[in-house]
Amino acid sequence: MKIALAQLNYHIGNFEANVSKITNSINKAKDDNVDLIIFSELSVCGYPPHDLLEQEDFINNCDKAVNKIASECKGIAAIVGAPSVNKKDKGKNLFNSAFFLSEGKIQDIFNKSLLPTYDIFDEYRYFEPNADFKIITYKGKKIAVTICEDLWDKQPTNNLFAKNQLYINSPMEELSKLNPDFVVNISASPFSFNQSELRKDILIDKAKSFNTPIFYVNQVGANTELIFDGGSMIINSLGKIADRLQFFKEDYKVIDLSNINNLNYTEPKLETIEKIHTALVLGIRDYFNKMNFKQATLGLSGGIDSAITAVLAVRALGKENVRVLLLPSKYSSSHSISDAVDLAENLGIQYEIVSIKEAADVFEKTLGPLFKDCKPDVTEENLQARIRGVLLMAISNKFGHILLNTSNKSESAVGYGTLYGDMCGGMSVLGDVYKTDVFKLAHFINKDNEIIPNNTIIKPPSAELRPDQKDSDSLPNYDILDNVLYQYIELKQSANQIINKGFDATTVKRIISLVNRNEYKRFQTPPILRISSKAFGEGRKIPLVAKY
Give the active site residues: 41, 112, 148
Q: What is the per-residue DSSP string for 73-127?
A: -SSSEEEEEEEEE--SSSS-SEEEEEEEEETTEEEEEEE------STT--GGGTB
Which stretch of DSSP H or E encloses residue 498? Answer: helix 495-499
**Based on C-alpha coordinates, what's the Rg of the chain?**
26
Q: Is 184 exposed, middle or buried (0-12, 13-18, 19+ CB in 10 A)?
A: buried
Q: Is 131 exposed, middle or buried (0-12, 13-18, 19+ CB in 10 A)?
A: exposed
Q: For the sheet containing 233-235, what is the strand order?
A: 136-138, 141-147, 182-187, 214-218, 233-235, 241-244
Contacts of 253 (CB under 8 A, 6+ apart): 4, 5, 232, 243, 245
Spatial distance between the Cα atoms of 322 and 310, rounded to a whole number of angstroms:
8
CA 291 to centroid of chain Cα atoms: 16
Spatial distance between the Cα atoms of 304 and 317, rounded to a whole number of angstroms:
20
Spatial distance between the Cα atoms of 194 and 176, rounded to a whole number of angstroms:
31
Q: What angle do CA 253, 259, 262 make, to 5 degrees?
A: 105
Closest CA to 42 of 213, 228, 279: 228
Which stretch of DSSP H or E encloses residue 507? Answer: helix 505-517
**Neighbour tally for 83: CB within 10 Å:** 24
- Quickly count helices (H) and strands (E) in the chain: 16, 19
Spatial distance between the Cα atoms of 335 and 339, rounded to a whole number of angstroms:
6
CA distances from 349 to 90, 180, 288, 456 (A): 58, 56, 18, 18
CB 84 within 8 A of CB 95: yes
Spatial distance between the Cα atoms of 184 and 6, rounded to a whole number of angstroms:
13
Q: What is the 3-state secondary structure (H, E, C) of 179-230?
A: CCCEEEEEECCECCCCCHHHHHHHHHHHHHHHCCCEEEEECEEEECCEEEEE
CB 350 within 8 A of CB 324: yes
Spatial distance between the Cα atoms of 319 and 296, rounded to a whole number of angstroms:
10
CB 464 within 8 A of CB 333: yes
